[in-house]
Structure 1
Amino acid sequence: MDDPPHEARRIDGSGVWWLPPQGIMPADEKWMAFGLGLVAGQLDTLSGGADALLVRVDDWDVPMLTDYQEEVAAAAVIECLQQNYGVGGVDIGVTFDRERNRYRFTWDGVSAEPGRS
């Protein structure tokens, strides 16, 4: 597309823009944007030279909040793009941290989170 919608958010200065679903929690939105940032270079390539590529997430439903972790939003958006649009993989590792009683995610072998390198 030539110009993304005014409500779209840009991913890390790339040509990738996205529209999060209505009512998404702020932490989920940050993690989803983080996941898109991990594959933004690949999405830029898929744009075919267009000025902007828009990723629109129509719905985000978390059916069971027990033990839910926001990092799942990043993993879900990456998995969706892999399965439906041929975006190459990001190795998502998951281990359980008993001391913190949380799952620990790694992205291509590196622990990271939104806003931190």
Structure 2
Amino acid sequence: MAEPAQGMRTTAYRVIKGAWGIAVDLTAEATLGAAPPGCAERVSDRVWLDASPVLSHPPADRTGRRITPEEAVWLRHGVALAAPAVEVLAAPRHTTITVHRVRFPETDYQPEGLAAAVLAWTEAEFGLPPRPVEVRFDRSANRYVYGW
């Protein structure tokens, strides 16, 4: 039987280094279980990602945004960065991270911000030390560049 790790938590990720910034509010929940979950994407041996709530978020619901499968790849990337540490903390159980909601203004957004937001969420949820993420603003491209 699966058990919630802490309950739902919202993390606000912000970066402003140029003419505009990236702002993502991400609400997620971690569930621990003895067996792999029935429906989630495997990120590592014992860490799983369930992005289905944000992939199917109703467009008329203004409490969050629906993201595309291409954007969800960035959620997986952020979880993958934290997965080794999460596995150590939760061993021998399986951890499923379910992303329930994402909010971002269309003008202050790049999909890479989803990876940074879910990484910050895992750090808060599991008490992990912050992982420095190099972010610089490329003025000529008018976008942020992440050094993962």
Q: TM-score range by the shorter chain?
A: 0.7 to 0.9
CA RMSD after TM alignment:
1.6
Alpha-carbon distance, 1:39 to partner: 0.9
| Comparing 77-86 and 18-27, the one that deviates more | 18-27
Deviations 1:39-98 (A, max 9, x none): 110010111312x11111111122x11152100000000111212321232211211111
Q: Does 1:31 align with 2:74?
A: yes
More strand by share: 2
Q: Secondary structure at the match of 2:92?
A: coil
Q: Tell me the number of residue pairs that the alignment of Structure 1 and Structure 2 aligns.
A: 104
Name the residue aligned to 1:6.
Answer: 38
Which amino acid is the alignment partner of residue 18 of structure 1? L
> Structure 1: any 5+ residue segments left out of the alignment?
108-117
**TM-score, normalisation: structure 1:** 0.79
Secondary structure, in 3 states, of the residue corresponding to 1:58?
A: strand
Q: Which has the higher contact order (CA 8 A, sep 6+)?
A: 2
- Equivalent position of 1:46 in the other structure: 89
For 1:54 and 1:44, the matched residues in 2 are separated by 11
Q: CA deviation at 1:10?
A: 0.4
Which residue among 86, 106, 115 is the counterpart of 1:74? 115
Contact 1:42/1:88, CA 8 A, preserved across alignment: no
TM-score (structure 2 length as normaliser): 0.64
Aligned-pair identity (%): 32
Give the match's secondary structure for 1:94. Answer: strand
Query: Hey, which bits of structure 1, 4+ residues long, moved more than 2 A?
Result: 2-6, 21-24
Aligned 8 A contact 2:79 2:122 in 1: no
Q: Is the 8 A contact 1:14 1:41 kept in 2?
A: no
For 1:47 and 1:84, the matched residues in 2 are separated by 12
Give the unaligned 5+ runs of structure 2. 1-32, 56-66
